[in-house]
Structure formats: structure tokens, C-alpha cells
Structure 1
Amino acid sequence: MRRRHHFHIDHAGHSISTTVQTGHTAVVEVLVDGKEVGYAKTSGDRPVPVTVELPTEPPTLVTVRATPGPGIPRCLLEVPGAEPQMMSPRPY
């Protein structure tokens, strides 16, 4: 059974949202300021890293690490030189 989970965090003045669709194949979509900038698929419950670029000056590369399972999915924002930050789940 497929299910969609939504996560969000604000970083460096930008809105970062992630949707994790679970099922046999997990699909991860990352949006920055409402625009899709990253996409990945994986089988099973393996963590999926999606590296995206924030439109800062100079551009900043960050990684969203989505873990589809087991259980409820989780997402972390990984920024170079900082501790990973848990992204907040959002009900839609």
C-alpha cells in the first residue's frame, strides 16, 4: 500500500519540503521554495540521500536523507559543517 508523508524545514531563509511516498519502491521528492529540485527512488526501507542546491550566494549544497521505514518515515537535513537537523512532519 502506497502512502505519502510530508516533511518541512526552513534553512538560510529558504523553505525545504520533502515528500516520501512509501510502498514497494519508495519515492522521495525535494522542493526548495516550492520548486522541485531533487528526486530519488529506492527499494525497501533503505535510506535515500538527495543532494540539492540552495539558491544562496554562493549556492549551498545540502543533503536531505530520507529513511522510508521501517515504521514511519523520517527525514534529516544535512548541511556541511553543522549537525543534521530533523525535518518536521507535516499532515496534509
Structure 2
Amino acid sequence: MRRRHHFHVDHLGHSVSVTVETGHSAAVDVLVDGKETARVVIGRERQVALPVELPTDPPTTVTVRATAGPGVPRCLLIPAGEADPLVMAPRPY
């Protein structure tokens, strides 16, 4: 059975949202300021790290790490050059 889990964080004045769709194969969608910037279908590994560019001046690259399981999906935003990742809060939809 497929389920959708939504996550969100604001970083450097930009909105970063992630949807993790679980099931036999998992899909991860990343939106920056409401525009889709990355999409990937993941199989057995159930974890993916996606580089995403924020539209700052100059553009800033961050990494979104999504884990589709086992258990409840989780997402982190990892800013370039920073040691501590930001936990993306789950959002009910």
C-alpha cells in the first residue's frame, strides 16, 4: 500500500518541501519555492541524497537526504559547509 509523507523547512529565505511516497518502490519529490527541482524513484536502498540548488545570489547548493524506511520516513536538509543538518518537520496533508 502506498502512502505519502510530507516534510518542510525554510532555509535562507526559501521554502524546501519533500514528499516521500512509500510502497514497493519509493519515490521522492523535492520542491523549492513550490517548483519541482528533483524527483527520484528509489528501490531497495530506501535512502537517497539529492543535491538541490536554492535560488540565492549566488546560488546555494544543499543536499536533501530522504529515508523511506524501514519505519516512518525521515528527511534532512544538509547545508553546504555546515556540520549540523536541519531536520525537516513532517507536515500532515
Aligned-residue sequence identity (percent) comes to 64
- Cα-to-partner distance string for 1:17-62 (whole Å, 9 max, x where unaligned): 0000001111000000000001111113521111111000000111
- Cα-to-partner distance string for 1:49-90 (whole Å, 9 max, x where unaligned): 111110000001111100000010000001112111110000
TM-score, normalised with respect to structure 2: 0.95
- 73-82 or 6-15, which deviates more: 73-82
TM-score, normalised with respect to structure 1: 0.96
CA contact (8 A) 1:41 1:48 kept: no
Structure 1 stretches of 5 or more lacking a match? none
Equivalent position of 2:85 in the other structure = 84
CA distance, structure 2, for counterparts of residue 44 and residue 66 of structure 1? 14
CA-based RMSD = 0.9
Greater than 3 Å deviation, 4+ residue runs: none
CA distance, structure 2, for counterparts of residue 62 and residue 25 of structure 1? 25
CA distance, structure 2, for counterparts of residue 50 and residue 20 of structure 1? 13
CA contact (8 A) 1:16 1:32 kept: yes
CA distance, structure 2, for counterparts of residue 48 and residue 77 of structure 1? 12
